[in-house]
């Protein structure tokens, strides 16, 4: 074993207290330093933290940013989300292959650059975009690829890439990114002027039960997708047995088409940490964790700085703002490329240094969460609402919005529209109004709530966006009249196939089959019966899957089958001879022909 590797690993593990629950930090550090987590490395890590080697491998093999195989010092990950494809990522992909002389999945012969695809990296509003290690390059074109590849080959250091700076804190020296916020509409809650720390001060003047009651009266519901009442979640967590409790902010934002949390982390970091601190006070937690998706690593240094500033101002730490006995601090846990880690129990698994498998419920996180302690997991936007509720009062908070869904919601709008970006709108807005606002009045279809939500057509454009009608965690993707909705559904199924954790049968195998049937239909081999199979298979996956991923993953298929039935029907046909059109003899004998170096003669009656 190389001395260099062992001493580096020893150091990394020691830094993490030789604590196996810090496995994510350990393997991320090893990956970063050596471009891989090799067999040797896994054996040594297992020794240092006193676990089994196969347990280390089970973690490394789960996350796409980690690998047993050697990768280049620079890893380029081009986003191949549906929206990026609509804005031309396929020609950008060709340009990368040409400029680098390698295919996707390969590393340059000098071992310096690896080229890969990534699912949605949260930049749909400025697509096509790619990650260069932690750096993000947006608005890619073939010309820009040429420039940026020539640039990186000069120094192989993504932090030295030349690019313009984005707006707001994107231009902060610690972020130094070309990412744009694209805030298109400012509402009264999140993007309005507000008095920093006024909410926290008010909260600390109240009892924690009163704080929870205020949040309950504001009828604040989770903004991450499920819409669970936040006050109730906090009450359960507070009431659960045990001294030690945790609050976790879910900044995994992996739902394709969602990027509003990215903007909040950039422009409202203080507000978010204020919200976490109030949450900590309410549930009785002295520790908070911000789980930040690996794709947003470019924001990490900046967020660390915001936390450090808050510590120096006694907004974090001991006896916060003079409140005797109220101690609270926040650490950042980095993810490593896994959509499923946005699911709250997977997120907890990941924080514990495990594969991102969801946990069996019950027990729920409020009873037994992180390290077995009561834990509240809340979305970034939810936590940003909290200081406003405490600053302005619950009555003010519910003034706008609809009856069942008070206040405002951030929408991440992208796709075929003139003004992609983040919109803060009151709940209850009509789809047609939104389309007008974003410059997409000719839309054929709309994906609301990301692929796990629904794809609706013009018949639903008079409906409203709120928890009781068209619910959304924030993603709104617009599809213009020329898009093939069956192909869109197939692309989203590809995403779920890639992102299923593989724990349970229906999601692991069922999504693969759904995708296979869609491909069959798209290649012109589909039969009318296939639509029925798709429907039934999709329903089985929804009903029997173990967690929210599988329970919603068939939605792109099921909602397009319902709302764009014609698209499917024109693609499937009954054959005249009653034979299945799926068998392609030429393709079937191809392998044999290659081995035999002979063409086959096929006789046709």
Partner 1 sequence: MSDQITFTIDGVEVKGKPGQTILEAADAAGIYIPRLCFMKDLIPHGSCRVCTVFINGRPQAACTQPITEGAIVENDTAELKEHRKNIIDMLFVEGNHFCMFCEKSGNCELQAMAYRLGISAPKYPYLFPKRDVDATHPDILIDRNRCILCGRCVEASRDVDKKTIFEFVGRGADKKVAVNANADLKDTDFKATDKAADVCPVGCIIKKRVGFAIPVGQRKYDTKPIGSDIEAGKK
Q: Catalog residues that contact ligand FMN under the rule CB under 6 A.
A: 222-226, 228, 250, 252-255, 340, 342-344, 377-379, 382, 547-549
Residue from the set 36, 106, 327, 544 that interacts with partner 1 by CB under 8 A: 544
Residue 97: enclosing H or E segment and its boundaries? Answer: helix 89-100
What are the angstrom distances between the C-alpha of 243 and each of 146, 232, 239, 524? 57, 19, 10, 61
Binding partner of residue 377 among ligand FMN, partner 1, ligand SF4, none, CB cut-off 5 to 8 Å per kind? ligand FMN
Residue 544 binds which entry of partner 1, ligand SF4, ligand FMN, none, CB below 5-8 Å type-dependent: partner 1
Q: Are 378 and 251 in contact (CB under 8 A)?
A: no
Compose the 332-351 pattern: x for residues touching partner 1 by CB under 8 A, - for all others. ------x-x-----------
- The nearer residue to ligand SF4, 35 or 119, going by C-beta atoms, is 119
Q: Report the 10 Å Cβ neighbour count for 555.
A: 23
Under the criterion CB under 8 A, does residue 498 sit at the interface with partner 1?
yes
Site for ligand SF4 in 538-557 (CB under 6 A): 545-547, 549-550
181: alpha, beta or left? (left if phi > 0; alpha if psi -120 to 50)? alpha
- CB-nearer residue toward ligand SF4: 110 or 539: 539
Which structure tokens are listed for 424? 């803060």
Which partner, partner 1, ligand FMN, ligand SF4, none, binds residue 158 by CB below 5 to 8 Å per kind? none
Are 292 and 299 contacting, i.e. CB atoms less than 8 angstroms apart? yes
Of the candidates 435, 433, 439, the one whose C-alpha atom is nearest the C-alpha of residue 447 is 435
Q: Please give the helix or strand (H or E) that residue 232 lies within, else none.
A: helix 230-239
Q: How many residues bind ligand SF4 (CB under 6 A)?
A: 14
Q: How far apart are CA 45 and CA 27, in angstroms?
A: 8
Q: How far is the CB of 350 from ligand SF4 (least distance, A)?
A: 13
306 binds ligand SF4 (CB under 6 A): no
Closer residue to ligand FMN in complex, CB, 10/508: 508
Give, as ranges, the residues between 515 and 534 that touch partner 1 (CB under 8 A).
516, 533
Q: Which stretch binds partner 1 (CB under 8 A): 230-238, 264-272, 379-387, 538-546?
A: 538-546
CB 9 within 8 A of CB 53: no
* 251 binding ligand SF4? (CB under 6 A): no
237 or 500: CB nearest ligand SF4: 500
To partner 1, the closest distance from the beta carbon of 498 in angstroms equals: 6
Element holding 431 (H helix, E strand): helix 431-438
What contacts 558, CB < 8 A, 6 or more positions away?
535, 538, 539, 542
Total residues binding partner 1 (CB under 8 A): 41
Chain residue at closest Cβ approach to ligand SF4:
550
Buried b (16+ CB within 10 A) or exposed e, 499-511: bbbebbebbbebb
Q: Which of 225, 358, 374, 453 binds ligand SF4 (CB under 6 A)?
A: 358
76 scored as a contact of ligand SF4 (CB under 6 A): no
CA distance 316 to 186: 29
Q: What is the closest distance, in whole angstroms, from the C-beta atom of residue 510 to ligand SF4 in the complex?
A: 9
Q: Tokens 């409020």 correspond to what residue?
A: 366
Supply the minimum distance, in Å, between the C-beta of residue 360 and partner 1: 5
Binding of partner 1 at residue 545 (CB under 8 A)?
Answer: yes
74-102 b/e (C-beta count within 10 Å ≥ 16 → b): bbbbbbbbbbbbbbebeebbebbeebbeb
Residue 355 binds partner 1, judged by CB under 8 A: yes
3-state helix, strand, coil in the chain (%, to 5): 45, 15, 40
Contacting residue, 9, 161, 292, 340, with ligand SF4 by CB under 6 A: 340
**DSSP codes, 337-380:** S-GGGGSHHHHHHHHTTS--PPPPSSSPTTTS-GGGS-EEEEEH
- Between residues 507 and 558, which has the closer beta carbon with respect to ligand SF4? 507
Q: Which is nearer to partner 1, 390 or 504 (CB)?
A: 504
Which residues are registered as beta bridge partners of 415?
Answer: 478
Task: Give the 3-state secondary structure of 383-429.
Answer: HHHHHHHHHHCHHHHCCCECCCCECEEEEEEEECCCCCEEEEEECCE
Q: Which is nearer to ligand FMN, 255 or 416 (CB)?
A: 255
Q: Which of 513, 522, 527, 589 binds partner 1 (CB under 8 A)?
A: 513
Of 471-510, binders to ligand SF4 (CB under 6 A) are: 500-504, 507-508
φ and ψ at residue 218, rounded to 5 degrees: -75, -5
Sole binder of partner 1 in the list 25, 55, 99, 134 (CB under 8 A): 55
**Where along the sequence are the contacts to partner 1 (CB under 8 A)?**
39, 43, 52-55, 57-58, 61-62, 338, 340, 355-356, 360, 362, 497-506, 508-510, 512-513, 516, 533, 536-537, 539-540, 543-546
**Where along the sequence are the contacts to ligand SF4 (CB under 6 A)?**
340, 358, 500-504, 507-508, 545-547, 549-550
């Amino acid at each position: 074993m190389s001395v260099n590797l062992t001493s580096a690993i020893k150091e990394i593990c020691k830094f993490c207290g030789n604590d196996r629950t810090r496995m994510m930090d350990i393997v991320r550090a090893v990956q970063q330093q050596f471009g891989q987590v090799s067999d040797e490395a896994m054996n040594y890590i297992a020794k240092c933290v006193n676990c089994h080697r196969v347990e280390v491998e089970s973690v490394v093999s789960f996350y796409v940013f980690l690998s047993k195989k050697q990768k280049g010092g620079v890893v380029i990950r081009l986003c191949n989300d549906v929206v990026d494809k609509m804005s031309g990522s396929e020609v950008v992909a060709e340009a990368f292959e040409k400029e680098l002389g390698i295919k996707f999945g390969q590393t340059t012969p000098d071992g310096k650059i690896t080229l890969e695809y990534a699912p949605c990296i949260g930049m749909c509003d400025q697509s096509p975009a790619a990650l260069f290690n932690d750096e993000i390059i947006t608005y890619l074109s073939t010309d820009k690829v040429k420039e940026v590849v020539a640039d990186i080959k000069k120094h192989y250091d993504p932090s030295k890439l030349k690019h313009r700076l984005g707006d707001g804190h994107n231009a902060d020296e610690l972020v130094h990114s070309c990412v744009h916020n694209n805030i298109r509409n400012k509402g009264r809650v999140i993007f309005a002027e507000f008095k920093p720390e006024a909410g926290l001060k008010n909260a600390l003047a109240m009892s924690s039960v009163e704080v929870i009651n205020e949040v309950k009266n504001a009828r604040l519901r989770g903004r991450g997708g499920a819409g669970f009442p936040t006050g109730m979640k906090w009450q359960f967590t507070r009431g659960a047995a045990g001294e030690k409790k945790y609050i976790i902010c879910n900044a995994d934002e992996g739902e394709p088409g969602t990027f509003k949390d990215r903007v909040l982390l950039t422009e409202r970091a203080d507000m978010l940490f204020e919200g976490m601190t109030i949450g900590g006070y309410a549930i009785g937690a002295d520790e908070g964790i911000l789980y930040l998706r690996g794709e947003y690593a470019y924001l990490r240094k900046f967020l660390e700085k915001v936390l450090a500033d808050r510590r120096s101002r006694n907004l974090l730490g001991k006896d916060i703002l003079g409140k005797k006995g109220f101690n609270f601090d926040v650490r950042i846990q980095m993810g490593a490329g896994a959509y499923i880690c946005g699911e709250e129990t997977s997120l907890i698994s990941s924080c514990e240094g495990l594969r991102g498998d969801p946990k069996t419920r019950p027990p729920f996180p409020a009873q037994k969460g992180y390290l077995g302690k009561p834990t509240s997991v809340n979305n970034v936007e939810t936590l940003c609402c909290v200081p406003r509720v405490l600053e302005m009062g619950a009555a003010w908070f519910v003034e706008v919005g609809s009856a069942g869904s008070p206040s405002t919601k951030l929408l991440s709008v992208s796709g075929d529209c003139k003004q992609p970006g983040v919109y803060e709108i009151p709940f209850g807005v009509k789809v047609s109004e939104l389309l007008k606002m974003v410059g997409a009045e000719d839309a054929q279809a709309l994906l609301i709530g990301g692929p796990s939500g629904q794809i609706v057509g013009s018949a639903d454009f008079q409906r409203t966006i709120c928890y009781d009608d068209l619910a959304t965690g924030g993603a709104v993707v617009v599809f213009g009249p020329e898009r093939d909705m069956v192909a869109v559904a197939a692309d989203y199924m590809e995403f779920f196939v890639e992102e299923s954790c593989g724990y349970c049968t229906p999601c692991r195998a069922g999504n693969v089959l759904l995708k296979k049937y869609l491909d069959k239909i798209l290649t012109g081999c589909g039969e009318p019966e296939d639509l029925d199979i798709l429907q039934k298979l999709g329903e089985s996956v929804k009903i029997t899957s173990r967690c929210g991923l599988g329970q919603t993953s068939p939605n792109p298929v099921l909602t397009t089958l319902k709302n764009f039935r014609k698209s499917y029907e024109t693609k499937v046909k009954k054959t005249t001879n009653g034979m299945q059109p799926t068998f392609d003899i030429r393709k079937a004998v191809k392998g044999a022909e290659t081995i035999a170096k002979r063409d086959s003669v096929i006789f046709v009656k």
